[in-house]
Structure 1
């Protein structure tokens, strides 16, 4: 990660804090502090919640949480009751007033998001939803000294054309190969032209595309072109994942589906062309039955790279 990227995220984080109202003494159009508002939301979101659990959830000192809870109980937002299995444990619950307060907090927050999203197009909205969720999970993992949740938990794989497919596949390729191989406009244009042409042939049963979707946004792609090479050979094309999804198992799942499709269709072989140095991708190719058949230097993409051809012999289904 570059220094400019780090600075950009820090600047955006400070702006978020200000625009969401965290610099003010109260939050979400209530009379309560940010920590108190978050405490009410956490109690609302859990069937049972103890003060000790709230300490862990909010990442605050026990004494601070105790004082905050005392104020919320006095204000009539919360009450405590003994756990039926252990009277020593006190469970926090919302009062009727507390449920009304939480409903107002949710309405306030939803209106904030909806108002802000009016200034973004659909692709930007999806990117914000995906990126904020991943970043928040990574921050929490750092605080708890644990692994960040896998981004694949909400990722689904679908087949067939999706609106925005041509642009997103092109964008993911252009971004990745600009950073890793120094490719520029010519490469991006070639990808865009190829994907657009292929999209017009998706109605043919020998052609298929798999798209990884997260929050309605395309975050990965893989295509099998059964017409491009002829001679009953399939061409694996445009296999790429967003940075946040690499290493999550989504690529492996897409590859398994694609190879099963090729076997069912009765192709003799599957061919793919890639570039030397993409070690994680090569491991996946070889694990899926591909073998390196040929490599040579090439400069047609705007920088000198070693192109590689891999071939997989299909297994009749």
Structure 2
């Protein structure tokens, strides 16, 4: 690994502060329009990306799926875009600007050019060339060296109130889409956060939610594993194992003697992971109506002492 000169670090930070002010000049609600910078970028991607989908927008811009979905719905409501179902995969819908959307895009594009030209109008031609070359150099170096195709995943072991809201929404959406659970599950989710929360771990990648797991205090020696979820966009990258490993290490460090969890028999994909970490099936309830389905609850335990 290359050793970094401290003076370069300070210069880099100085430039970041300066350019943040430049971006502030354009401001979040740019071009005297009702559209945020993110909404404007989404319009740009839809206009300039062949066969653009919501998933492409999420990956290209590093945005949360729910956030992208809300913006797309708003644009549909305003008659700015329309969807066409993919003939190859009916689950995918391609996004296109309507005539009205094209008109708005062109106005925003023209205004964006005017903003840049305003900043550059007092800069002579030679300096403009140097500025463009410097920008190209920065983009080239950082793109090649610092922006891997797959962003690293980090795990933090603290949470704020917004994280709770996000976890509830992620859980609600997943179980609704993947298992057809109804609105009563949302009520249940809210109730689970009234418990004595010991800790929550949240996995993130480039600022995007990748997964979570939590612990609830049952008694001085026993904790319950809750809210275990890996976002579908990040599956297959070992995030579930990393979350459970962090949880297990913490429990051993804190001298807890037992961890248990409740799941349902239809959640077969999680079984191998629970077994891998030493959990064993200890109780099975009779099938009963639950969250709009007929489900069979299971309890899994691991003894640490």
CA positional deviation for 1:222: 0.6
CA positional deviation for 1:159: 1.0
Give me the CA root mean square deviation.
3.9
Q: Which residue matches 1:238?
A: 227
Gaps of 5+ in 2: 1-54, 56-83, 115-124, 138-146
Contact 1:172/1:241 (<8 A) preserved: no
Task: Report the 3-state secondary structure (helix = DSSP H, G, I; strand = E; otherwise coil) of the residue aligned with 2:214.
Answer: strand
1:248-259 to structure 2, matched below 5 A, reads: 248-259=237-248
Gaps of 5+ in 1: 31-76, 78-94, 107-136, 138-147
CA distance in 1, matches of 2:203, 2:99: 32
Structure 1 residues 101 and 16, CA gap change in structure 2 (3 angstroms):
farther
Q: How many residues align?
A: 198
Contact 1:234/1:271 (<8 A) preserved: yes
Contact 1:210/1:223 (<8 A) preserved: yes
Q: Which residue matches 2:270?
A: 281
CA positional deviation for 1:295: 2.4
Contact 2:210/2:234 (<8 A) preserved: yes
Say whether residues 1:10 and 2:41 are aligned partners: no
The list of structure 1 runs, each at least 4 consecutive aligned residues, that deviate by more than 6 angstroms after superposition, is 12-21, 103-106
Residues 138-172 of structure 1 show CA distances to partners (whole Å, capped at 9, x for unaligned) of: xxxxxxxxxx944xx33211112224112111111
Q: Which residue matches 1:170?
A: 168
Q: What TM-score do the two structures reach when normalised by structure 2?
A: 0.54
Say whether residues 1:271 and 2:264 are aligned partners: no
CA positional deviation for 1:97: 5.4
Contact 2:266/2:295 (<8 A) preserved: no
CA distance in 1, matches of 2:149, 2:252: 34
Task: Report the 3-state secondary structure (helix = DSSP H, G, I; strand = E; otherwise coil) of the residue aligned with 1:294.
Answer: strand
- Structure number with greater Rg is 1
Say whether residues 1:154 and 2:143 are aligned partners: no
CA positional deviation for 1:218: 3.5
Higher mean displacement: 283-292 or 214-223:
214-223
Q: What TM-score do the two structures reach when normalised by structure 1?
A: 0.52
Q: Which residue matches 2:298?
A: 308
Structure 1 residues 280 and 19, CA gap change in structure 2 (3 angstroms):
farther
Contact 1:29/1:105 (<8 A) preserved: no
Contact 1:183/1:302 (<8 A) preserved: yes
Contact 1:165/1:218 (<8 A) preserved: no
CA positional deviation for 1:306: 2.3
Structure 1 residues 190 and 313, CA gap change in structure 2 (3 angstroms):
same
Contact 1:293/1:309 (<8 A) preserved: yes
